[in-house]
């Protein structure tokens, strides 16, 4: 049993990851680039940072991947791309507090996805938790105006955040299925996931005919910051943790992100969440905690 113990405590790793991902919304807000461009370069730079490490020490692990493994990682990458596309755009329309809280409702969809795809039964506790969280999501979505001004704008941003949550759930479910028991090594897995994610985002931004370059130095620094902080120390550490702890534990740990992001937005962006966002967000987090309780 001792040989299977990870060199770093999963609890410590999750704490680092939560702190890192909490900066994501702030970095996205600071950037003036189009949402798809932000998402693309975040993932591209993350991939570029990881590829040398993956190729230098994991060539054998790459060769052992089956077609099913590659397909699963590719689907996870597709889900991650759609998550980023929806969530980054959400931050253009609604508050950081609302967007980050709603996008972190993904444990609800993880539970539903496990029931539908893995034929897992939904317990009474899970059902109650989902209903509680849904009530909070409705309050958040229709209560405050958000930064978009008109209520319809903030509702649009909140809906995008929920879409991002659904896509994040698919990403987590795929990761848990492939990474459980470290059946697939971390770096080969995330390299494929991020590469597919970047490719999908590239296709989307080319469809939108967005310029790939011509951004000021400040934007490139923000893109790199998104890659190193939320990318490397956030999502990559989360994928590492999925090999050692249950996905529900990871999901509950990520409830710290809305709190951290809201505090950072308050300090750095002078963004004060409305009453409905605070109350509704608290209800959402409570419902997720009930749903994900071990």
* Tens of pLDDT, residues 20-39: 988 999 999 999 999 999 99
**Does 255 map to a domain?**
yes
**Does 241 map to a domain?**
yes
- The single-letter DSSP state of residue 15 is H
**Does 3 map to a domain?**
no
* Number of structural domains found in the chain: 1
| pLDDT for the residue numbered 249 | 67
Q: Looking at the chain, list the stretches that DSSP marks H as alpha helix, in order from N- to C-terminal side.
A: 10-21, 24-30, 35-57, 59-63, 67-90, 96-103, 106-117, 124-143, 151-179, 186-207, 217-226, 237-241, 247-253, 256-268, 275-292
| pLDDT for the residue numbered 292 | 59
Would you state the structure tokens that stand for residue 5, as one six-digit string?
Answer: 């113990």
Structural domain that includes position 30: 9-292
Q: Quick one: average pLDDT of 256-270?
A: 84
**Does 248 map to a domain?**
yes
- Contact assessment for residue 162 and residue 102, using Cβ atoms and an 8 Å cutoff: yes
Residue 224 pLDDT exceeds 50: yes
**Where does the pLDDT of residue 218 fall: very low under 50, low under 70, confident under 90, or very high at 90 and above?**
very high
Residue 3 pLDDT exceeds 60: no
Average pLDDT taken over every residue of the chain = 81
**Does 2 map to a domain?**
no
Residue 14 pLDDT exceeds 70: yes
C-alpha to C-alpha distance for 278 and 144, rounded to whole angstroms = 10
**Does 97 map to a domain?**
yes
**Does 1 map to a domain?**
no
Predicted TM-score (pTM) of this structure: 0.80
Cβ-proximal residues to 177 (8 Å cutoff; 6+ apart), any chain? 72
Q: Quick one: average pLDDT of 162-173?
A: 88
Cβ-proximal residues to 70 (8 Å cutoff; 6+ apart), any chain? 192
Residue 294 pLDDT exceeds 70: no
**Does 4 map to a domain?**
no
| pLDDT for the residue numbered 256 | 77
- Contact assessment for residue 139 and residue 279, using Cβ atoms and an 8 Å cutoff: yes
């Amino acid at each position: 049993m001792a040989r299977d113990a990870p060199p770093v405590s999963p609890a410590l790793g999750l704490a680092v990851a939560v702190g890192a991902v909490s900066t994501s919304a702030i970095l996205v807000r600071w950037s003036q680039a189009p949402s798809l461009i932000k998402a693309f370069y975040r993932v591209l730079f993350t991939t570029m940072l990881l590829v040398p490490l993956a190729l230098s020490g994991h060539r054998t692990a790459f060769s052992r991947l089956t077609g099913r493994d590659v397909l699963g990682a590719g689907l996870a990458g597709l889900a991650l791309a759609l998550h980023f596309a929806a969530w980054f755009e959400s931050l253009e329309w609604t508050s950081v507090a609302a967007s980050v809280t709603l996008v972190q409702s993904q444990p609800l969809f993880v539970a539903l996805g496990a029931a539908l795809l893995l034929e897992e039964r939904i317990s009474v506790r899970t059902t109650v938790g989902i209903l509680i969280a849904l009530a909070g999501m409705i309050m958040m979505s229709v209560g405050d105006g958000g930064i978009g001004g008109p209520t319809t704008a903030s509702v649009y941003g909140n809906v995008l955040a929920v879409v991002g949550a659904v896509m994040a759930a698919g990403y987590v479910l795929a990761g848990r299925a492939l990474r459980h028991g470290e059946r697939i090594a971390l770096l080969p897995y995330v390299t494929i996931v991020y590469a597919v994610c970047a490719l999908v985002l590239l296709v989307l931004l080319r469809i939108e005919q967005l310029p790939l370059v011509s951004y000021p130095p400040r934007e490139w620094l923000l893109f790199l910051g998104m890659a190193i902080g939320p990318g490397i120390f956030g999502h990559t550490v989360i994928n590492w943790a999925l090999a050692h702890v249950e996905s529900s534990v990871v999901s509950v740990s990520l409830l710290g992100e809305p709190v951290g992001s809201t505090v950072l937005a308050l300090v750095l962006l002078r963004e004060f969440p409305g009453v409905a966002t605070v109350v509704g967000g608290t209800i959402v987090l409570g419902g997720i905690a009930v749903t994900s309780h071990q």
